[in-house]
Homo-oligomer: A and B are copies of this chain.
């Protein structure tokens, strides 16, 4: 594309974004340079600021600019309940329900031996310390219902039960608003087993 190394460098840098191939990267570069140079400057600044300032909450591991995140500091939250999620996006999804008033532990990933992600990489030792601090009464496992999320939940559950903690898992079942005809078999089977 043209003769500019600067442009090629930009396309290469955009390709490091997840889900962006060489064609999308070219289209993004073209769009920014042709139609939105202020957007390019704004994105550069936002990236630089975020990469420099954002770190992990020392208590729950989520992204924050401070030592401890606002959720962990919030005095109105129920400190006896600790909800374990994979990512800040999952935490945000739970927060939007307004159904949970406890605290979180954000793994920032999931166990994935094939990708070389073990217990250390998702801070399990820290989670176990936090869960056994004497205040936490119940640990709610809200990792995703994927193979790796389930495996992660299983490992955490076993370890915490061995420490005598009350461990629960988000209910599996038929999604609200769905018709049985179109729900997959595994989900219906789980919903039958967990009927109430």
Closest chain B CB from A140 CB (angstroms) = 19
Contact (Cβ within 8 A) B47 A47: yes
User: Is A41 among interface residues, defined by CB-CB distance under 8 A?
Assistant: yes
Contact (Cβ within 8 A) B48 A44: yes
User: Is A189 among interface residues, defined by CB-CB distance under 8 A?
Assistant: no
Residues of chain A from 130 to 148 with CB closer than 8 A to chain B in the complex: none
Chain B residues positioned under 8 Å from A127 (CB to CB) = none
Which segment, of A50-58, A149-157, A163-171, A176-184, faces chain B?
A: A50-58
User: Is A78 among interface residues, defined by CB-CB distance under 8 A?
Assistant: no
User: Is A97 among interface residues, defined by CB-CB distance under 8 A?
Assistant: no
Contact (Cβ within 8 A) A51 B44: yes
User: Is A69 among interface residues, defined by CB-CB distance under 8 A?
Assistant: yes
Distance between Cα atoms of A47 and B14 in the complex (Å):
9
| Contact sample, A vs B, 19 pairs, CB 8 Å cutoff | A2-B92, A6-B50, A6-B53, A7-B50, A9-B46, A10-B50, A13-B43, A16-B43, A18-B27, A19-B27, A19-B28, A30-B87, A33-B63, A34-B108, A34-B109, A40-B48, A43-B47, A44-B51, A47-B47
